[in-house]
Structure 1
Amino acid sequence: MLKSTVALVRCDTYDSQQVYEAVETGVDLLGGISRFVKPGEKIVIKPNVLFGVNPQRCVSTHPSVFRAAGILLKKAGAILCCGDSSGFGRCEGNMKRSGLKAVADELGIELADFDKGKAVSHKEALLNKRFVLANGVLESDGLVSLPKLKTHGLTRFTGAIKNQFGCVPGVLKSQFHVKMADPYEFATMLVDLTTLVKPRLYIMDGIMAMEGNGPRSGKPRKLGVLLLSSDPVALDAIACKIIDLDPAFVPTSEPGERAGLGTYRYDNIEIVGEAVESFIARDFDVVRKPPVAIRHRPMRAFLKNQICPRPTIDEAICTSCGTCVEVCPVKPKAVDWHDGDESRPPAFKYDRCIRCYCCQELCPQGAVTIRETLLGKLLFR
């Protein structure tokens, strides 16, 4: 069996020139940019733009990494566009606030349409046979994915495979949370989406990662590394090794390997560039156990309410902005106002909650955190 290759390049700063040199080094270690794109091809660059906030918050792919990828691809003769469908808000506004649109304008990279899309079938999918993909993805010849290394409440870690969720336009993403409330079904859908979109190259921003209450409200953590590969499963596995997380605990790993995207088994991964041991952060704040899966559908709602970790609101931090209410995908809402009183923090009705953690993921203030239930602690110690 041929081994998958992951390139690790040390980069301790977001200085544009140093990041470019690091990205170029990583791509060369994988065989050079001509292995991934040909002159005249239309390539969409897909950063992680969860929310439009200052790059120093480490919520999105840093503009310097985006710039480096853009310059390298332009030198290869690619015709570039870019975009992402964020969890909240429109593509252009979030790209602007995250500092990415300014770089795109500087390099002459068009903003692709990630707000609207068309339905496509995926007969080879493991689970989800139909997706609506953003027009910007459908109108391109290929995609280069720029994930950000962050923790995630539902999937433990968000990296190369999860980054393609932004290829689904806007509010359509919430339908998957309702339809596939089990974390392993949701992860399999992400794998199906990745096998459909088939990014040619992944460049993960791990220079400054996010630990703790990610993927939006965690703490920036310097890791000083860029990870590159054409195998998203292997890339995520090596990122997990760096943050001392067993990749078997990440629910995209097994279906990703089963779907033929790559491997998460270290023995089948060749690391080129820097040694992975020089980057390992054993004190990285991440949940080191698998998500809770409830396979017995008739009991799923009851058991989920009793044993699955719950989102909770810190009323001292909450500003009553209503983002959690707006993004909650279920009807009736699992988190809502007290009798319509928008001056007070919203409250949860956990019997309605599907544990998608969209509220925690997108809270602008970081007021929503995920806490284990007492029964869950006893069962999954």
Structure 2
Amino acid sequence: MKPLVSVIRCPGYDQEMVDRAVRASITSVCDPSEIIRPGHRVLIKPNLLAKARPEKAVTTHPSLVRALINLVKELGAHPVVGDSPGGVNTEAAVRGIYRESGIGEVCRQEGVPIVDFETNVVEVNLPGGKLYRKMTVARASRDVDAIITVPKLKTHGFMMLTCGIKILFGLVPGLSKANYHLKMSRKEEFADMLLDLYSYAAPRLTVVDGVVAMEGNGPAHGVPRKLDLILASTDSVALDVVVSEVIGYRLEEVPTNLAAVKRGLTGELQDLEIVGEDLDEVRVSDFVKPITRGVVRGVPPFLKHLLKDISSPKPVSNESRCTLCRVCVDNCPSQAMRVEKERVLIDYQECIRCYCCHELCPEGAIELRVHPLARPFVHTGS
């Protein structure tokens, strides 16, 4: 049987509207009572990248989290909510992210615990690991009967797309994420690491917030884009293939999609079954992609090596926006950034182009710029 992926219209975040769309998306692909049993403890994992209001499209909208909490309760199970945002995560910082996103208030109103992802960790086996056989993750992900992920549909400067697979990186606590960026600076390796993590997490269900997505230079400083969609599947990799199709990515443009096909974890679009909306009716032809990392078109193979450095977008500090908060410095995996004479300086010999600084800067002061000589050969995200 082909993996099922649902694509359902949802033209806003009115709670009743979201409830209907979430339920329609889920029941189109499975019988929820068969994957969530009475008495189960269920982890609902949203995308809580950074401190941002829901309208910024940085985090999962709280209405989807509420809809899933209520569904889990109706099934006789016990929901908990958790995620590890990017960067240095003190208890106060995480609390602020939950508060700003609106998800903290939803949990309070619904009487649902928020579980610790930062300090209560455990080493787990990865049954389908290619690069990793063990990883340290939040203990809460192990001590539940089922995981439901609720990603926000967004572009990503390094992995091109953050959705059903990339969201699982949030199972890795705080600063440990930087170590993986340092060890796997090549996107192909990073994609395989994420799929190794997927083999452990095995979400029972993934429900995508695509009502308002993010285009451009995501995942934190792109532009909100209204798509009016909620998608769902019990197969996260198949779901990402469909999401990619909706926003105009070729399968091979998204490293996790390509790696998943190579590993036999998913097929191409024709190998999947899509229910709900006709893809031809929901495709977005002008969805703005992030700046592409590396030379991507019109360059002979013998020149790619010579042009690799100038063609990779470089993070640059915009001094007019920078508040010298040091978030970029403190979270740089390769320690390529420092503050000197009230300026953020970047050592490009050490920079691994992971773009964590761009992703985590609260002021959007880290910009990605392409060398003028390389601009004819790269996608600039505009």
The TM-score normalised by the length of structure 1 is 0.91
Structure 2 match to 1:112: 115
Show CA shifts across 1:295-329 (max 9, x none). Answer: xxxxxx99764442211222222222221111111
Counterparts of 1:2-81 in structure 2, within 5 Å, are: 2-81=1-80
Larger deviation, residues 110-119 vs 164-173: 110-119
Is it true that 1:316 corresponds to 2:314 in the alignment? no
| CA–CA separation in structure 2 for the residues paired with 1:47 and 1:134 | 14
**Corresponding position: 1:85 with 2:84:** yes
SS in 1 for 2:289: coil
2:98 is aligned, of 90, 95, 98, to 95
Q: How does 1:1-381 map to 2 (within 5 A)?
A: 2-88=1-87, 89-90=89-90, 91-116=94-119, 117-263=121-267, 265-287=268-290, 305-330=309-334, 333-338=335-340, 341=341, 344-374=342-372, 376-377=374-375
Aligned partner letter, 1:214: G
Say whether the 8 Å CA contact 2:45–2:81 is kept in structure 1: yes
The answer to whether the 8 A contact 2:64-2:209 is kept is yes
Aligned mates of 1:238, 1:123 — CA distance in 2: 26
In structure 2, distance between residues paired with 1:322 and 1:65: 33
1:275 shift after superposition: 1.2
Per-residue displacement from partner, 1:65-115 (whole Å, max 9, x unpaired)? 111111111111111111100003344332222110111121121111211
Which digits, 9 at most, give the CA deviation of each residue in 1:192-229, with x for residues without a partner? 10111110100000000011121011111100000101
Corresponding letter in the other structure for 1:106: Q
The answer to whether the Cα contact below 8 Å between 1:126 and 1:192 also exists between their aligned partners in 2 is: yes
Shift of residue 20 of structure 1? 0.5
Query: Contact between 1:217 and 1:361, CA under 8 Å: does it hold in 2?
Result: yes
Task: Using the TM superposition, name which of 123-132 and 98-107 deviates more.
Answer: 123-132
- With over 3 angstroms needed to count, the CA separation of the structure-2 counterparts of 1:223 and 1:380, relative to structure 1, is closer
C-alpha deviation, 1:288, in angstroms: 8.2
- Structure 2 Cα separation of the partners of residues 345 and 16 of structure 1: 45
- Asked if the contact 2:47/2:151 (under 8 Å) is kept, the reply is yes
CA distance in 2, matches of 1:30, 1:246: 24
Contact in 2 for aligned 1:53/1:98 (Cα 8 Å): yes
- Which letter maps to 1:365? E
**Separation of aligned partners in 2, 1:366 and 1:113:** 28
The residue identity in structure 1 corresponding to 2:364 is G
Gaps of 5+ in 2: 297-304
d(CA) in 1 for partners of 2:372 and 2:117? 41
Distance 2:339 2:309 in 1: 20
> For residues 108-147 of structure 1, what are the alpha-carbon distances to aligned partners after superposition, in whole Å with 9 as ceiling and x for unaligned?
2111121121112325311122210101111111100001
Contact 1:236 1:247 in 2 (8 A): no
Distance 1:11 1:379, change over 3 A: closer
Deviation at 1:244, TM superposition (A): 1.0
Q: Cα RMSD over matched residues?
A: 2.1
Call closer, same or farther: CA 1:259–1:44 in 2, change over 3 Å.
farther
Corresponding letter in the other structure for 1:57: K
| Greater shift in the superposed pair: 91-100 or 22-31 | 91-100
Q: Are residues 186 and 160 of structure 1, via their aligned partners in 2, closer, same or farther at CA, if it must alter by over 3 Å?
A: same
CA contact (8 A) 2:294 2:313 kept: no
Distance 1:35 1:374, change over 3 A: farther
Which segment drifts farther, 168-177 or 27-36? 27-36
Unpaired segments ≥5 residues, structure 1: 294-300
Instruction: After superposing the two structures, state which structure 1 stretch, 275-284 or 138-147, moved more.
Output: 275-284
TM-score, normalization: structure 2?
A: 0.91
How many pairs were matched up?
367
